[in-house]
Structure 1
Amino acid sequence: MNGQMMFFLIAVFVFAAILGVLMFRGIASSRRRSQTPWQNLIAQLAETDHSALELLAKHTSNRDASSVLDDEQTLPPEEVWRMVGGMKGLELLDHNSKVMIAMAAYVHEWHPVASSEAEELRMIGREIEWHVNRLRAAERAANLESWFGNYAENTAAAYCLMAERLLHFCEAARLPRPMLSELQRAL
């Protein structure tokens, strides 16, 4: 009987140890998973030349505020092309706007009262997508040069507005400071 009791106690101890290890791994994994979506979203943001985009956005808002266009207010399409990084740069802005919409949805889970702000971000993202799609169509029709300057400037302006509004939305939702800092660095 002593041998059987010892075997039973060893089996119970091994079972309890395995169960404890599995529970510990499950808890650690769930903690990592709860942080992972934000890090995944941050990692999905493509790097952009934010200073050039802000310059284009300011130029666009100054141009729109004035009723008369002169040569100083109109940037040459080649300059706009360089500042946004061409079609590849616009594709990155379109991609980043989709990631920012996903970020707003993620933050909205924490702060559901801010539905109108999240919807506004989604609408700006749709505007960016619309501009980029128009330029894709112009590229396919070999008519990109005549449309690029205006649509690219408007895309840059919408992107900068979206980034600014996302930061304000995250601050209002009281996003934890480390997450907000990550977002500020990424944008």
Structure 2
Amino acid sequence: MSIRTVLFIVAVAIFVASLVAIAAYYYRRAHRSSDRDWEQLLKRLSAVDRSSIAEVALDIIDDSGQRRRDGESATLEPAQIWKLVGGLEGLEVLEANCTVFIDLAFYVQRWYPEALVVAEQLRLSAREIEWHVGRLKGAERTGKLESAFAMYAQPAVATYYLMTRQVLALYEQGSVAMLTELRDVL
């Protein structure tokens, strides 16, 4: 063997070894980042009173998520809804949590590709909630918040309630170990 051949083999070996070292570094970094991403996602969720959300939502939808029939009208008064939700500020918290729900769906999509459909449904639901909150902010500016609250707040809360159920179902289907932790937070 000539000296050139030996140098070539050494250079290739160094190149391959450096590629393996780089791959190992980024694999470990991605694994640590994944754990950190999960914790950061959960920290971004704001606390809400789950029982109040369920009470407001289940006043206009049934357990399956379908709107109640005309004969089964809503029983909560706007003042009760205001108190249970926490007013416009409470709805803004729900709106902010919707963004985290979408991020949670994209997070699980890393190993469960079917999550893409749920992420898109969550995005559309978040837009609906954003629309309702926008209407309420407009009503507040015109001094008609009280009369508009039940019309827009209750459907927004019902949509939020269904979104929480979708996120939990997604993590359940994906057989994700974080399901218990997510249940505790939601």
TM over 0.5: yes
User: Are 1:53 and 2:20 matched, yes or no?
Assistant: no
Alignment of 1:33-112 (within 5 A): 33-61=33-61, 64-68=67-71, 73-112=74-113
Change over 3 Å in CA distance of 1:123–1:26 after alignment to 2? closer
**Aligned-partner residue type, residue 34 of structure 1:** S
Report which of the two has the higher share of helix: 1
Deviation string for 1:94-129 (max 9, x for gaps)? 000111011111111221133222211211111111
Structure 2 Cα separation of the partners of residues 28 and 143 of structure 1: 55
Residues paired across the two proteins, number: 160
Moved more, 104-113 or 86-95: 104-113
Structure 1, unmatched stretches of 5+, are 1-24
**Aligned-partner residue type, residue 171 of structure 2:** C
Structure 1 Cα separation of the partners of residues 172 and 164 of structure 2: 12
Give the percent of matched residue pairs that are identical in Structure 1 and Structure 2: 38
Change over 3 Å in CA distance of 1:31–1:66 after alignment to 2? closer
Structure 2, unmatched stretches of 5+, are 1-24
Cα deviation for residue 28 of structure 1 reads 6.8
CA RMSD of aligned residues (A): 2.3
**Aligned-partner residue type, residue 181 of structure 2:** E
Residue 21 of structure 2: aligned partner: none
Looking at both structures, which has the greater relative contact order when contacts are Cα pairs under 8 Å and sequence separation is at least 6? 1
Structure 1 Cα separation of the partners of residues 146 and 38 of structure 2: 38
Deviation string for 1:58-89 (max 9, x for gaps)? 1011694232476xx44221110000001110
Q: Which has the greater radius of gyration?
A: 1
